Amino acid sequence: MCRCAAAVPGGEGGFARYLARVIRYPVAAFNAKVQGRIIITFVVEKDGTLSNIKVLRGIGSSCDEEAIRAIKACPPWLPGMQKGKPVRVQYSVPIAFSLGK
């Protein structure tokens, strides 16, 4: 069996809970009522660490930097596996900044 995709410990739900716990709405963005979805891309390395973290689509007002900070602080993932060996895998994830209803 080949598991080519990398996996975050705790699954997608665990990753969403991690982001909800770690991300802090930047004060300037909150005061300016900036909302939106940021797309972050990164590489899960063979050892599970995250590298090449970049914003593909941002919303500014320090939200982009906060999303990058949260991804950089993320614990290691389970690396992708191909033919029984760890491989690098690129991921893109959306991170929403919302002030609520």
Identity at 6, one-letter amino acid code: A
Tell me if 80 sits within 8 A of 91, measured CB to CB.
no
One-letter amino acid identity for 62? Answer: S
Q: What is the mean pLDDT of residues 55-60?
A: 94
Q: Is residue 84 part of a domain?
A: yes
Task: Please check whether residue 91 is in contact with residue 6, taking contact to mean a CB–CB distance below 8 angstroms.
Answer: yes
Domain-located, residue 6 = no
Q: Which domain holds residue 25?
A: 14-97
Question: pTM value?
Answer: 0.86
Q: How many domains does the chain have?
A: 1
In sequence order, the 6+-apart residues with CB closer than 8 A to the CB of 84 are none
Reported as a single tens digit per residue, the pLDDT across 76-93 is 998 888 888 999 999 999
Instruction: Assign residue 56 the CATH number of its domain.
Output: 3.30.1150
Residue 49 lies in a domain: yes
- Please give the distance of CA 92 from its chain centroid, rounded to a whole number: 7
